[in-house]
Every structure is written in C-alpha cells, then in structure tokens.
A = this chain, B = another copy of it.
Amino acid sequence: MIKVALDAMGGDHAPKAIVEGAILAAKESQGKYVIVLTGPEDVVKSTLSSFGYNGEGMEIVHAPDLVAMDDSPTAVLKTKPNSGLVACVSLQKAGKVQASISAGNSGAMMAACLMILGRVGNMPRPAIACDVPSFGQKVTLLDCGANVDEKAPTLVAFGICGSIYSETMLGRKNPKVGLLNMGEEEKKGTEVLQEAHQLLKQAPINFIGNVEGRDIMKGEADVIVTGGYTGNVVLKLMEGFYEYHLKTFGKIDSPEGKQFHMDWDYANFGAAMLLGLKGTGLITHGRANAKVIKNGLDLAYRLASNQVSEKIAAKLSQVA
C-alpha cells in the first residue's frame, strides 16, 4: 500500500486547508493509498475533529517543530528536523512512505528533498515541473525555478525528466520535447541554449527543436525545456495573466469560460513536481486551498505508483 506524507503545517491556510484537503482525498480515493499527516499531533487531531472526520485512511506522525515561510532552508534542515516539512521527507527516506508533499516554505522543502532523498543524474537540483495551460492540452514546463545558471547537459536532463513524466503520467506517446528559445534556428539564443540544442538532438527523446514563447500556448509540444529563471518567469506570468483576466472580465459563465477557468486557475494545477530526485517530492502554492491539496495528494500517489522517479533515474543513468 502506497503512503503519501503530507506536511500538515505548511502553507498560508495550514493546518485547516491542508487537513481538509487530506479528508477530501481520503474520501475520494477510497483506500487506494494512505495519507500520513506530519505535524503536532494535538493540532492535527483537533483539526480532523473540527471537520467531524474519524481519520479513516490516515495516519498521524507527531512533528512539533514549526517552519515559517521565510525561514532559511538550511536553518530549517539543521534546527527543525522534527517539523512537519522535514518529517514528511525523512519518512520517505526511511521507507515508511513513498511520496512527500508540502505547501510550506518551498525553498526548505526543496532543500529537504535534495539533502535527505538525494538527486539523480547531472542536475544540481531537481527540476520543478508544472503542467501549464496550452491550447487543446496542457504542456509540461520545466524547470520552473529550482535551478539557475544551468549548463547544457542539465537542460538535456530536464528534457528527459519531462519526457518520461509526459509519457508515463499523461499518456502522451513519444512526447514532443521543445527547447524554449528566441527563434527557430539552431544558432539562436544563448551559448548554453545553442549547445543544449545540439545535445538534445542526440538525446533518447523526441526532440522537436526550438519553440518560442508564443508556442507555449499552441499545444504543439508536450514538454518545454528552459532554465529555472525563465521558467519561473513564464509560470508566474501565466498566473499574472489569469489574475489580470479575472480582474478584467470576472468569472465567465459560458462553456468556453468554464473551460478557461478550469485550465487557468492554478488551484487546479495541483502541485509542482520535483523531478530528478531519488524519491517523490512535491511542492504546492503557499496559498493552497483544500482542492489544491487534494489534487496534489492524488498526483503524489500516481507519481509514486507509476514509479516515475525510478524510470527517470534509469534513463538518466544511461546518458550520464
């Protein structure tokens, strides 16, 4: 039985929204997986009680330390090992759970996953991968902000991670991987992008060449590779666009409008995946509500049960 550990105390609306999300997931999944809530036992129990839930399909692991959103990641690892955030990762290292998720301090969660679980391949840090809206179907964008100043082989590793995720989890056959660039020609872009283009042509993936900013919206690629800086800007610009749209037009109630809100409301994205770990780690928006947490738990379960991290490790070891 797969178990997913959830940091009960992470996020702006913790523990209420987190525990509520866990309850939604437990009810819906009907015992397909177990949710392990990490946090101060009394707080977690009383929050469960406040929803009138008996805790079916859940376990609680007592972790009383509290992590603030602005705590330094390294300080969290050193001084708060018994926090919900660090405990949800340590349990995975100990083999007691198969995936870990937090809506808390994302730098600290990244550091915990990196230091406790470890990484695979030649990425300095695992890539943050997100499924973002595109025309017709979502596209997987990575890295959305874990790395900076990547070298070309790291971008190739992102492409491999994204390709395996897209094939395994989204069912895309031979996923099309594009390199985000400022022109279609091979010689466009930074030195690193030009080198990455050549390496991607040799990589064991379906590389379709450079794609541009406007192509993100066209659904022509299944996976789009870029560095953490640009990926982070793109992801947040898309969130900004949705906020702008809501401010301008409000909720649009037509069938197209409903689809648009479903595709663009980042509450529906679930969570960002850390790909390239020896294990399964996810981070969600600090503003996560119960629905985000429920979607994140489901995604964590599916990543673990589909052995996505193992498949990525195997493929990366072939090319290293």
* A interface residues with partner B (beta carbon < 8 Å): 135, 145, 148-149, 180-182, 189-191, 193, 212-218, 226, 228-230, 232-241, 243-244, 247-249, 252, 256-257, 259-260
Contact = CB atoms under 8 A, between A and B. Distances in A.
Contact of A214 (B145, B149, B240, B249): B240
Contacts of A238: 213, 237
Chain A contact surface mostly: helix
A237 B249 contact: no
A11 to B, nearest CB: 18
Contacts of A230: 229-230, 233
Contacts of A248: 256, 259-260
Nearest to A245: B245
Contact of A216 (B232, B237, B259): B237
B240 A237 contact: no
A146 to B, nearest CB: 10
A243 B229 contact: no
A135 B256 CA distance: 23
A193 B193 CA distance: 18
A252 B190 CA distance: 39
B213 A236 contact: yes
A298 B234 CA distance: 32
16 contacts: A148-B182, A148-B189, A148-B191, A149-B190, A190-B229, A212-B236, A213-B233, A213-B239, A214-B239, A218-B240, A230-B230, A233-B234, A237-B237, A249-B252, A249-B257, A249-B260
B182 A229 contact: yes
Contacts of A214: 236-237, 239-240, 243
B182 A145 contact: yes
B237 A217 contact: yes
Contacts of A148: 182, 189-191
B135 A232 contact: no
A240 B256 contact: no
Contacts of A212: 232-233, 236
B213 A180 contact: no
B241 A217 contact: yes
Contact of A237 (B190, B191, B193, B234): B234
